[in-house]
Amino acid sequence: MAANVTVLYPNTPGARFDMDYYLAHHMPMVMQRFGAHGMTGWRVVRFEGKPEQTPHGVMATLDFGSTEGIAAALAAEGGPVLADVPNFTDLRPTLMTGEVVGRV
C-alpha cells in the first residue's frame, strides 16, 4: 500500500527559509537518497496566511510505495537528509509518516 512522509515547517515570522535552495538542492538530494528505498516523487506547497490562521508555512510530501520503504529510507539516509536542513532554514520541521488510505 502506498505511503507518504509529510514534512511541515512552522509559519514563524522572521524565520529563514531559502525556497530556492530547498527546491534546487535539498529536494533533489532527498529524491536521490530516498529513491533507492522506494520514494517515487515529491510535492512542495507554500501556504499563505498569518501564523494564527496558518500554523505551517511550507509542506513537503514525499511519496513512497510502502511504509517499509519509508522506514528503510529514514534508517539509511535520514541523518544526511536532516543534516542539510540548516542550509536552508532555521526552523525545526515536523515529520509525519502514514499509509495512504484513499486517493482519486
User: Structural domains in the chain?
Assistant: 3-99 (3.30.70.100)
Residue 42 has what pLDDT? 98
Q: Which residues contact 9 (CB under 8 A, 6 or more apart)?
A: 17, 56, 57, 58, 59, 89, 91, 93
Contact of 95 with 6, CB cutoff 8 Å:
yes
Cite the beta strand spans of the chain per DSSP E. Answer: 3-10, 39-46, 56-64, 94-99
What is the tens place of the pLDDT at every residue in 2-22? 999 999 999 999 999 999 999
- pTM equals 0.94
The DSSP 8-state label assigned to residue 54 in this structure reads: -
Query: Confidence band (pLDDT; 50, 70, 90) for 68?
Result: very high
Residue 49 has what pLDDT? 92
What is the tens place of the pLDDT at every residue in 23-40? 999 999 999 999 999 999
